[in-house]
Amino acid sequence: MVSEEQMLFFGMLKQLVGGTAQSKASSCRKLVLPLQFLGTSQHRITAEANFHSASFSEAEPPRVLITAVSLGGLGQLGVGLANLLRKRFGKDNVILSDIRKPPAHVFHSGPFVYANILDYKNLREIVVNHRISWLFHYSALLSAVGEANVSLARDVNINGLHNVLDVAAEYNVRLFVPSTIGAFGPTSPRNPAPDLCIQRPRTIYGVSKVHTELMGEYYYYRYGLDFRCLRYPGIISADSQPGGGTTDYAVQIFHAAAKNGTFECNLEASTRLPMMYISDCLRATLEVMEAPEERLSMRTYNIGAMSFTPEELAQELRKHAPDFQITYCVDPLRQAIAESWPMILDDSNARKDWGWKHGFDLPELVATMLSFHGVSARVAQVN
């Protein structure tokens, strides 16, 4: 026997299908069902949620939360992003979070809260109590670390994402979640990889990022969630430690050059991968979040800057430190991962739609990294 609720549901579906058939233009519009029928996770989105009313006026800055689980907000990108956003929107409007106790310089630099993305209630309370209007979700286990602990990566990268999506949709929060070159696979075009192509990654990290891209787009069309995503290349930062990714050799090599002038690389000398200096990455993230929605032709964009091999990086490094030595001891797991990723990202849509333009090529990257670590100064003294 069909219930009254089911009859109402099928009646609305009939109206939607009928309306679509009558007008060609309606096929381009979002089909949004009444909210009592919505909800894709264990946390049902309530009928009282207001998805389309502004959560903050244009005159006031956004209230920002950067989420993390160990490798997120306190890792390579979260603190740098918080510093950039605090300069733009004010220190008290940007909140860092993690499940770890923050170091003193992070704690005293601006607001910090405990936030576990696997605790839906905790996450919801933070969004409500702090009137969050922008959310940057950086919590993820990276490629090599994820392969070493698949169940944890699945829990953090996928279940945590579901909590964030539901909270952001319920409270009309503009949501940014980074994706990665790891979202591509061995059957994807590699030189270059376009925004839209076959994606069949073979790591739990890559699978979770494809899931992120598709779920974000789904929530945009189904619920009206303002979801934005960039596929990051390998990110190189001077003032942070590597976080367990396959591209981390390009960070480790500078630490090694500063310490003893030698480096053992776990990828083959000719392995070409797309890379980006962290300041370009953070600027791109802010730019896509500030871009008017009407300028965005898609929800997930590639962004690129430079592409190089370990040997090309070592050659550029030797221009500053001629005695630097690199050897190779290839890690089969990391090498297989790298060979399934793009060599170059096609970011023409980002450049066309919202004006993306990188600032650092390989020579600028190497000079900046070595200067930070004091390698150039030491070589000058020796000479």
Within 10 angstroms of residue 344's Cβ, the number of other Cβ atoms is 19
Angle at 372 between CA 87 and CA 143, to 5 degrees: 80
- What phi, psi does 22 have (nearest 5°)? -75, -30
205 annotated active-site: yes
Helix, strand and coil percent figures for the chain, each rounded to 5: 45, 15, 40
99 vs 70, 122, 132, 239, 243, CA distance in Å?
7, 12, 19, 21, 16
The contacts of residue 109 (CB under 8 Å, 6+ apart) are: 79, 82, 83, 86, 91
Rounded Cα gap, residues 176 and 364, in angstroms: 28
Instruction: Please identify which residue in the block is written with the tokens 């006026």.
Output: 57
Q: Which two tokens stand for residue 61?
A: 């800055």
Dihedral of the CA atoms 151, 155, 161, 166 (nearest 10)?
A: 140
CA-atom Rg of the chain in angstroms: 22
Q: Which two tokens stand for residue 95?
A: 């909140």
Handedness of CA 165, 168, 172, 177 (dihedral sign): negative
Catalytically annotated residue among 138, 205, 220, 232: 205
User: 96 and 79 in contact (C-beta within 8 Å)?
Assistant: yes
| Side chain identity, residue 162 | H
Rounded Cα gap, residues 147 and 311, in angstroms: 26
Strand, helix or coil for residue 232: strand
Q: Which two tokens stand for residue 361?
A: 């090529």
- What phi, psi does 262 have (nearest 5°)? -135, 155
Rounded Cα gap, residues 233 and 256, in angstroms: 22
| Side chain identity, residue 278 | I
Residues labelled catalytic: 205
